Amino acid sequence: MAFTYDRWMEDQGLPIHRGYYIEDLRTVELGWWEKRKVKAAFIQLHGMPGVVEGRVQEIAPGETLPPSRLAVDELVYVLNGRGVASVWGDEAKPKKTFEWSTRSLFLVPRNSSCQLSNMDGEHPARLLHYNYLPIAMSTIPEPDFFFDNPYPAPQSLYDGSGEFYSEATASSEKGDGRFAGKDRQFWIGNFFPDLGAWDKLVPFWGRGAGGHVVFIRPPGSEMTAHMSVFPAKTYKKGHRHGPGRIIVIPGGEGYSILWQEGEEKIVVPWHEGSCFVPPNRWFHQHFNLGDGNARYLALHPPEQFAGRSERVEDRVNDQIEYPSEDPWIREKFESELKSRGLASEMVPQAYEDPNYEWDYEASGS
């Protein structure tokens, strides 16, 4: 069965990149998209069909794209380059204009016009666009409905509560269960200038390796994201959730393993610009082979597709504690490090006690 979105995507005549991962979105093949006057390609990895769209667009040196308007919210991550975005919902009101650069993340709200410009006259800029257009086209199977729809943009674009693309603000809630009393922090905002340098992080309790995290919530949107940062020569616990989370790497070097319970494991090597999507309910696990912190950014579909959330409400079914993991996991990690002249910095106690927690003060962020 082909989804409405799939038929529309095929009709655009652009490259469609499938499989389990893309080694580097910054160099992946693009084609000319006449309707948008831009070089572009679709990303449709396992775990995405019917749920979310991934699209890479490249703006030529010094060029400005024609305005575009989409009826669903869209998160944009800057793979490389620097430029300016102008966003507006009403021609009679001032445009919201801001500068972006490599590793910026920003929201373009539904039914608003957006125009992107490359400020660099010598090098192209590449951006990853992420939205839930496949879900929307399944509810309204009329593709033209979603482009240049005159329905007004969200009032929040002009609601007077502050600049729409101003600095994000923090909000916290207390954890529960095993992590009762421990803060779970969210940053509320529509623009994050550099996720490669973002250091407003909190411990990622329960996920292992002494990792830290930032959870991102654009106000008024059901799109969310999180970025995890974890130390050199360590690895996170295996876990699983629902489909549609595109993971892109802002920094670091390592690999991830994807597998369906009881099936063969797939190894995904990564570095900055790499991209992969854990398929629905597949376990996956992240490993840092570098000599510094590694970062991965996960762009989330709407909450009803989360499966189990990052909160991990059912540890037995949705997370594998270190003492219970396949011994091959640890063996491969230590072998990969040894081939680089490095040694694991995993805490031995973590392999013995499923409730062990890192000293987050010592591990830093």
Q: Please, where are the H alpha helices in 1-62?
A: 4-11
Estimate the share of the chain in helix, then strand, then coil, as percent rounded to the nearest 5.
Answer: 15, 35, 50
Angle formed at CA 61 by CA 55 and CA 66, multiple of 5 degrees: 55
Number of neighbours of residue 214 by Cβ within 10 angstroms? 25
In sequence order, which residues have a C-beta less than 8 Å from that of residue 216 and are 6 or more positions away? 105, 168, 186, 187, 189, 192, 224, 225, 226, 227
What is the spatial distance between Cα 209 and Cα 230, in angstroms, rounded to a whole number? 7
Task: Give just the sign of the alpha carbon dihedral 105, 257, 235, 344.
Answer: negative
Which pLDDT value is given to residue 2? 79
What is the spatial distance between Cα 89 and Cα 147, in angstroms, rounded to a whole number? 14
Helix (H, G, I), strand (E, B) or coil at 273: coil
Structural contact between residues 306 and 254, judged by C-beta atoms closer than 8 angstroms = no
Structural domains in the chain plus CATH codes: 4-149 (2.60.120.10), 169-363 (2.60.120.10)
Angle formed at CA 214 by CA 212 and CA 218, multiple of 5 degrees: 170
Which pLDDT value is given to residue 118? 98
In sequence order, which residues have a C-beta less than 8 Å from that of residue 262 and are 6 or more positions away? none
pLDDT tens profile 159-203: 765 689 988 999 887 665 555 556 678 899 999 999 999 999 999
Question: 131-169 as b/e, with b when 16 or more CB fall inside 10 Å?
Answer: bbbbbbbeeeeebeebeeeeeebbebbeeeeeebbeebe
Which pLDDT value is given to residue 312? 43
Helix (H, G, I), strand (E, B) or coil at 142: coil
Q: What is the DSSP string of 331-348?
A: HHHHHHHHHTT------G
What is the spatial distance between Cα 194 and Cα 192, in angstroms, rounded to a whole number? 6
Which pLDDT value is given to residue 158? 81
Helix (H, G, I), strand (E, B) or coil at 265: coil
What is the spatial distance between Cα 60 and Cα 118, in angstroms, rounded to a whole number? 7
Residue-level pLDDT, tens digit, the chain, 365 residues: 679 999 999 999 999 999 999 999 999 999 999 999 999 999 999 999 999 999 999 999 999 999 999 999 999 999 999 999 999 998 878 899 999 999 999 999 999 999 999 999 999 999 999 999 999 999 999 999 999 999 988 888 887 656 899 889 998 876 655 555 566 788 999 999 999 999 999 999 889 999 999 999 999 999 999 999 999 999 999 999 999 999 999 999 999 999 999 899 999 999 999 999 999 999 999 999 999 999 999 999 988 876 654 444 445 578 999 999 999 999 999 999 999 999 999 999 999 999 999 987 655 54
